[in-house]
Structure 1
Amino acid sequence: MAKNVRTMNCRPDDVFRVLADGWLYPAWVVGASRMRDVDESWPQPGAELHHSVGVWPALLDDTTVVEEWSPPNRMVMRARGWPIGEARVTLRVRAFDGGSMVRIDEEPVEGPATLVPGLITTPLLRWRNSETLHRLAYLAEGRAG
């Protein structure tokens, strides 16, 4: 499982305001390139984001579904990225030193990615999720207030 942590200069509520806006998903998730639709019930459990992954013209349409929504502390999603597979992504947020500490855990749970040793997948996911948290910080800090 890949784990990343980042401190942000905003409150946990500011982070969850970004997470609650499904249309912002490709602005902070590395690899998501565009949104096609967001369920009206987003971000409630069972709600889906309909996004595309990749770079044009090699785009794949897929979905991400909410498994748990517990603001302002925890969100769990199941992100699909076939043909690679599916991953469980957990975001944990807590108040820290006047701002927030955000942790993201990602673990392949279905498909070919589960067959690749963690020795290979973990460094790649950590590298990607470092940038994901960097982008999330820009959005959350920029909307803080």
Structure 2
Amino acid sequence: MSTNERTIDATPEEVWAVLADGWLYPLWVVGATRMREVEPSWPEADSRIFHSVGAWPLVIDDSTSVVESVPAQHLTLRARAWPAGEATVVIDLEPADGRTLARIQEDVASGPGRLVPPPVRHLQLGWRNTETLRRLALVVEGRR
């Protein structure tokens, strides 16, 4: 799995508030372009959000589901973007002196993306998630 970390100038509860608002997903997830629906139980286990990925007019409608959820601590997602495939995304939040150490781990779970050699795949995911964490920090810190 590719792993990225960033310290966010907010509490884990403040970071979680952004993660728990499925309508904000395209603001911080690189590649997500719009939301179509958020299930009321999001981000509880087995709940889903329905989004589009890509750049207009080449967008793909798909979904992301919650595998595990511990409020203000841990979120495991299964992100779909077929025909590219599916990814497992693990987000952990740790308190750090009034701030939050946010960690994202991601790897392709199924589909054609599994054919990309792991070192190349992890390099690409690392770049993507550096920006994802930067965007998450901007949204969270901007709400303070």
State the TM-score, normalized to the length of structure 1. 0.97
Determine the structure 1 residue equivalent to 2:113.
113
- The aligned amino acid for 2:101 is M
- The aligned amino acid for 1:134 is R
Q: State the 1:140 CA deviation.
A: 1.2
Determine the structure 1 residue equivalent to 2:125.
125
- The aligned amino acid for 1:116 is V
Once superposed, what is the RMSD of the aligned Cα atoms?
0.8
Q: State the 1:97 CA deviation.
A: 2.8
Determine the structure 2 residue equivalent to 1:99.
99
Determine the structure 1 residue equivalent to 2:18.
18
Determine the structure 1 residue equivalent to 2:76.
76
Unaligned 5+ segments in structure 2 are: none
What SS does the aligned partner of 2:128 have? helix
Aligned length: 144
Question: Following superposition, which runs of at least 4 residues in structure 1 exceed 6 angstroms of deviation?
Answer: none
Determine the structure 1 residue equivalent to 2:63.
63
Q: Cα deviations across residues 74-115 of structure 1 (Å, max 9, x unaligned)?
A: 000000011111000000000113211000000111111112
Give the distance between the partners of 1:143 and 1:95, measured in 2 at CA.
18
Give the distance between the partners of 1:14 and 1:117, measured in 2 at CA.
36
Q: Identity across aligned pairs (percent)?
A: 49
State the TM-score, normalized to the length of structure 2. 0.97
Give the distance between the partners of 2:82 and 2:73, measured in 1 at CA.
29
Give the distance between the partners of 1:139 and 1:69, measured in 2 at CA.
21
